[in-house]
Structure 1
Amino acid sequence: MTMQPPGTIWADRGLSSIEEVIDDARNGRLSILVDGQNEHSQAHLIVPAQMATPDIVNFMAKHGRGLVCLALEKERADRLGLELQPRRDDRQEAFAVSIEARMGVTTGISAADRARTIAVAVDGSKGAEDIVSPGHVFPLVGRAGGVLIRAGAVEAAIDIARLAGLNASSVICAMISDKGDMAGQGEIQALAREHGLRIGSIRDLIAYRRRHDNLVELVGETRFDSPFGGHWIAKTYATKVDYGEHLVLIKGSISPTAPTLVRVHVLSTFVDMLGEKETGRAGRLQAAMQQIGEAGNGVIVLIRDARIDAFSQQMKRYVRGEGLELRDYGIGAQILADLGVHDMILVTNSHRPIIGLEGYGLNVIETRPIGPLVPPFA
């Protein structure tokens, strides 16, 4: 396959601007999307689904080596009657049952057949009656709100296609190395140079969308006294995607020039209200309030699950002892940015990296473990 060279590719850090990636998408060119900039970054080949020719599908399978997947918005997945596959936990990508075009394909596995299936799946005049399952194309369902809600490759690929003025769907393929693990930065850059592909980052896409979109809105404010940390300002933010409301607790003042103690906490009925003991997380919210209260300045963002099945989902996470996937902290990050937070000292017992925070103008300079809940509340 001969790729059209997009011109000068290597800007600072070896990344192209998101505007350039969007322009390439508009013109049917493949791009590489990375979720970070270190050797452990994950990379995906992406192209708008309506531009996915047999040659492009073949290129992705040959050079990406991962599954060739179709990223769709939930509304389109529902229109096609796609059922989500069971997931071990909420942190996994939302795979739907694999599909095939009902007409116009043979075995379904060839690049031409997969391109045909993709074309049918994103054609607004087609519906559930035009596809069958199982098949050789693997749909992935993105979260509403895109990367401003979840900093994932699926949401990013859909956002880029939509921003290019095309159908809000993309074909994506994870890049795998010769050894079978995730491709390293050197391999990613080598493929980009050889085939004239731009490399864009989810971080830069988040920053781009923040300049044009805002999904949170301050809707209420009050003050209260608590045995955990004393006097607090409480602010309520509403999201424009699911209309859920989230609470922010502010101690003291926030300075954009000084580090801010920050705790992003996903509210759990079992942990925070009922005080369950088995997962070892009971009392962490109150302990964080005490810790920030003693420091005199800081912010706690309380993320509330706005889904109608929130209790059953919390029950599943409680049974598995899981918290929120760090890619899903988009709402909390937007709230922190709106409050004027920049450098953060993150109060957490987790050591996992957080994806895409730089796109919100946020920077974690230090992490501190949550201290114990002191008597008489321990």
Structure 2
Amino acid sequence: MGFSTIEKALEVIATGGMVIVVDDESRENEGDVVMAAEFATTQALTFMVSRCRGIVCAPMPERIARRLELPLMVERNTDSMKTAFTVSVDLIAGVTTGVSAAERALTLRALAAADTTAQALSRPGHIFPLIARSGGVEERAGHTEAAVDLAELAGLSPVGVICEILKDDGSMARRADLEVFAKQNGLIIISIAELIVWKAANAVSAKQVRPSLVA
């Protein structure tokens, strides 16, 4: 099973589905499921928690993190990949502990909503926002930036959901494992490297891309 096209991935994202995104083998060499936060559902979160088993994070542009008053988790980031975690959050309204799949989905949809305020969120929580670099995957070839780029290119709110895929034994799923996982769950796989190439070749805005996807 090879990589799918970026066009197909954008169609899936634009209609509320999820795709597997892999980074370079010389980087993390990992695969994350990725979807748009505005489409987060109980079913999707249950799949991520039970089948993917990684941490559920919400990549977003810095401007949204700033509007929601989400400071970085630490002042000095010593993570090897410089992943920009902010403080974790839960939505307040309609949420009890915040940990259930349904309540995590509520929080994710709230993060994607333009009318959500900083006061609507409790801190800490069970969703981990990540701040994407403004230059997208061209600036940092990470899953954080890929999720934001895919949501924007699909004409959606630029907040994504990502979750790493682990094997049954708890170790990280690699390329061969991810291909099996994708086939078992009816998902497609794209690479960040191909997304970088596609963006350079097309050089179009999200508003220009979306009509071609839904025509």
Q: Could you state the TM-score of these two structures normalised by the residue count of structure 2?
A: 0.89
Deviation at 1:158, TM superposition (A): 0.6
Partner of 2:66: 78
Going by fraction, where is helix more abundant, 1 or 2?
A: 2
The answer to whether the 8 Å contact 2:37/2:111 transfers is: no
The counterpart of 1:55, out of the listed 43, 46, 60, is 43
Partner of 1:150: 140
In the alignment, residue 206 of structure 1 is paired with which amino acid?
I
Matches of 2:18 and 2:71 in 1, distance apart? 28
The answer to whether the 8 Å contact 1:47/1:172 transfers is: yes
In the alignment, residue 62 of structure 2 is paired with which amino acid?
K
In the alignment, residue 177 of structure 1 is paired with which amino acid?
K
Q: How does 1:203-282 map to 2 (within 5 A)?
A: 203-213=193-203
Deviation at 1:89, TM superposition (A): 4.9
Matches of 1:185 and 1:44 in 2, distance apart? 11
Partner of 1:68: 56
Flag the structure with larger Rg.
Answer: 1
Matches of 1:169 and 1:41 in 2, distance apart? 23
Partner of 1:189: 179
The counterpart of 1:162, out of the listed 135, 152, 162, is 152
Matches of 1:189 and 1:73 in 2, distance apart? 30
Partner of 1:96: 86
The answer to whether the 8 Å contact 1:77/1:141 transfers is: yes
Matches of 1:136 and 1:37 in 2, distance apart? 29
Q: Cα 1:89–1:59, aligned 2, differ >3 Å: closer, same or farther?
A: closer
* 1:169-196 deviation line (CA, Å, top 9, x unaligned): 1100011122222112222111111111
Q: Cα 1:207–1:167, aligned 2, differ >3 Å: closer, same or farther?
A: same
Deviation at 1:17, TM superposition (A): 0.5
Q: How does 1:338-349 map to 2 (within 5 A)?
A: none
Deviation at 1:99, TM superposition (A): 0.1
In the alignment, residue 54 of structure 1 is paired with which amino acid?
T
Matches of 1:120 and 1:104 in 2, distance apart? 11
| Unaligned stretches of 5+ residues in structure 1 | 1-9, 215-378
The answer to whether the 8 Å contact 1:84/1:95 transfers is: yes
Matches of 1:48 and 1:103 in 2, distance apart? 21
Matches of 1:75 and 1:37 in 2, distance apart? 31
Matches of 1:77 and 1:37 in 2, distance apart? 30
| Unaligned stretches of 5+ residues in structure 2 | 205-215
Q: How does 1:172-187 map to 2 (within 5 A)?
A: 172-187=162-177
SS of 1:67's equivalent in the other structure is coil
Partner of 2:95: 105
Partner of 1:44: 32
Using CA pairs under 8 Å that are at least 6 residues apart, name the structure with larger relative contact order, 1 or 2. 2
Matches of 2:39 and 2:69 in 1, distance apart? 23
Q: Cα 1:29–1:179, aligned 2, differ >3 Å: closer, same or farther?
A: same
Matches of 2:88 and 2:72 in 1, distance apart? 10
Matches of 2:111 and 2:137 in 1, distance apart? 23
Deviation at 1:102, TM superposition (A): 1.3
Q: How does 1:25-44 map to 2 (within 5 A)?
A: 25-36=13-24, 41-44=29-32
Matches of 1:183 and 1:47 in 2, distance apart? 19
* Count of aligned pairs between the two proteins: 201
The answer to whether the 8 Å contact 1:54/1:115 transfers is: yes
SS of 2:55's equivalent in the other structure is strand
The answer to whether the 8 Å contact 1:121/1:131 transfers is: no
* 1:253-300 deviation line (CA, Å, top 9, x unaligned): xxxxxxxxxxxxxxxxxxxxxxxxxxxxxxxxxxxxxxxxxxxxxxxx
Matches of 2:140 and 2:162 in 1, distance apart? 16
Q: Cα 1:90–1:182, aligned 2, differ >3 Å: closer, same or farther?
A: closer
Q: Identity percentage over the alignment? A: 38
4+ aligned runs moved over 4 Å, structure 1: none
SS of 1:91's equivalent in the other structure is coil
* 1:214-264 deviation line (CA, Å, top 9, x unaligned): 9xxxxxxxxxxxxxxxxxxxxxxxxxxxxxxxxxxxxxxxxxxxxxxxxxx
RMSD over equivalenced CA pairs, Å = 1.6
In the alignment, residue 129 of structure 2 is paired with which amino acid?
P
